[in-house]
């Protein structure tokens, strides 16, 4: 409750003056696109931004006044539920953007859906007030167990932590000791009239029982949000399941991606090194199959916009990884069901087949479902010729090169699996 009654009134006046403009634009041009998606997604996010600020700076009761009916489309409501259902009970889920954060908060607070999951936005985890808001329970999600106190993170000395390596000591430091070192400000360095904390190690180790995670910080510094993630791991000992959203960049795994496994739309941090060199994390095919095939909610079929296409690409990538794993485990019937479901849920009419759909063609070939693979290939070839799949921001030269390379790759795929009919299709 940091706002006075007058401040709260003034905040709401200007916030809703802003939202009113978004609402007007939504009515004038529902197809208007913003950087985060359609104007209605942007408008919904503005309501939830206000909700989160009220939760962070005031209280849950004031926050709930921002939860108007009808926000988000069925597509995003399903997306949010699938994210939350990717997580085990009482999990901590790290997100980073608008669309992987605000819809999740909406379905939790508005519909009471999976309120045991604590959604923590890594971008906002740079700010004191947001961090401190997790020191108490949020809905049914337990508070974060942190060793860094509000006083420890006040000011700006820990906004940036430098890594100045001790060249004589290349051993990894236990994560809890690193956090303690930063907490106690054992090492400081002057910077532009102020003092910042530094650590003399870039190799870290986290121990839980007889299992360990060992990794390296690749940069010469890290930020407050990374420190807070390290504190959550070190202090909580991974007694609560900890997940990273599949939509975030590899950099935001903070060097831990090799120890993650994909459980749906989120990667769970484990103490086992699992990943292949070219992938983020590994998968447990049985768990992922159950989530995708039985637990996930799916929106009705419609033609999607460009931002939703990116989400469909997320879904398709996860389906493909599961099918790949099942094929390697010689579970071809299960792999076929996974591929069939993905094609049925996201057909070309809803989300155009593009270059990233090629792996589905090969997966079908690998399980001897050549007709199904070729049906996809025919549509994809037509899309390429019609320039339906425009990925390269309107650059005609780059798009032409992309299309040519894609056709060459398809040709090599058809040759590899002796699909002579499809080779003739390329010659038309």
Spatial distance between the Cα atoms of 255 and 257, rounded to a whole number of angstroms: 6
Higher pLDDT, 294 or 278: 294
List pLDDT tens digits, range 398-408: 888 888 999 99
Task: Determine the pLDDT at residue 306.
Answer: 76
Task: Determine the pLDDT at residue 305.
Answer: 77
List pLDDT tens digits, range 355-367: 888 999 999 999 9
Let me know: does 257 contact 276? Beta carbons within 8 Å: no
Task: Determine the pLDDT at residue 192.
Answer: 76
Task: Determine the pLDDT at residue 318.
Answer: 95
Residue 373 has φ and ψ, to the nearest 5°, of -65, -40
Can you give the pTM of this predicted structure? 0.93
Spatial distance between the Cα atoms of 154 and 287, rounded to a whole number of angstroms: 41
Spatial distance between the Cα atoms of 196 and 349, rounded to a whole number of angstroms: 55
Higher pLDDT, 401 or 17: 17
**Interacting residues of 63 by C-beta distance below 8 A, sequence separation 6+:** 51, 52, 54, 55, 109
| Residue among 147, 266, 275 at smallest CA distance from 213 | 275
Let me know: does 325 contact 281? Beta carbons within 8 Å: no
> How large a percentage of the chain has pLDDT more than 90?
79
Mean pLDDT over residues 240-264, rounded? Answer: 94
Task: Determine the pLDDT at residue 390.
Answer: 55
**Mean pLDDT, the chain, integer:** 92
**Interacting residues of 252 by C-beta distance below 8 A, sequence separation 6+:** 94, 96, 122, 244
């Amino acid at each position: 409750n940091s706002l006075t009654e007058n401040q709260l009134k003034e905040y709401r006046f200007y916030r809703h003056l802003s939202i009113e403009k978004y609402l007007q634009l939504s009515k004038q041009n529902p197809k208007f696109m913003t950087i985060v998606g359609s104007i209605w997604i942007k408008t919904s996010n503005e309501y939830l931004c206000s909700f989160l600020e009220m939760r962070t700076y005031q209280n849950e009761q004031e926050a709930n006044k921002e939860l108007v009916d009808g926000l988000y489309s069925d597509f995003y409501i399903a997306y949010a539920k699938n994210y939350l259902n990717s997580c085990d009970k009482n999990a901590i889920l790290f997100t980073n953007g608008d669309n992987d954060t605000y819809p999740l908060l909406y379905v939790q607070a508005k519909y009471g859906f999976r309120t045991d999951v604590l959604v923590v936005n890594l971008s906002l985890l740079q700010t004191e007030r947001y961090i401190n808001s997790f020191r108490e329970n949020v809905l049914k999600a337990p508070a974060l167990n942190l060793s860094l106190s509000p006083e420890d993170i006040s000011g700006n000395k820990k906004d940036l932590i430098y890594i100045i390596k001790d060249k004589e000591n290349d051993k990894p430091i236990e994560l809890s000791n690193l956090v303690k070192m930063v907490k106690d400000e054992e090492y400081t360095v002057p910077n532009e009239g102020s003092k910042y904390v530094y650590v003399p190690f870039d190799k870290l180790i986290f121990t839980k029982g007889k299992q360990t995670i060992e990794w390296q910080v690749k940069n010469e510094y890290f930020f407050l949000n990374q420190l807070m993630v390290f504190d959550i791991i070190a202090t909580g000992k991974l007694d609560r399941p900890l997940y990273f959203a599949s939509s975030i960049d590899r950099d935001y795994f903070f060097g831990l991606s090799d120890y993650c496994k994909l459980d749906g739309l989120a990667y769970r941090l484990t103490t086992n090194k699992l990943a292949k060199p070219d992938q983020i994390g590994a998968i447990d095919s049985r768990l992922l199959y159950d989530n995708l095939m039985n637990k996930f909610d799916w929106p009705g079929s419609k033609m999607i916009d460009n931002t939703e296409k990116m989400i469909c690409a997320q879904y398709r990538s996860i389906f493909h990884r599961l099918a790949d794993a099942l094929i390697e485990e010689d579970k071809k019937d299960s792999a076929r069901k996974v591929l069939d479901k993905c094609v049925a849920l996201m057909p070309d009419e809803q989300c155009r087949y593009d270059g990233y759909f090629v792996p589905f063609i090969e997966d079908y070939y690998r399980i001897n479902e050549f007709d199904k693979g070729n049906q996809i290939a025919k549509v994809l070839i037509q899309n390429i010729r019609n320039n339906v799949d425009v990925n390269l921001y309107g650059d005609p030269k780059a798009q032409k090169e992309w299309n040519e390379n894609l056709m060459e790759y398809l040709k090599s795929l058809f040759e590899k699996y002796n699909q002579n009919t499809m080779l003739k299709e390329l010659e038309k």
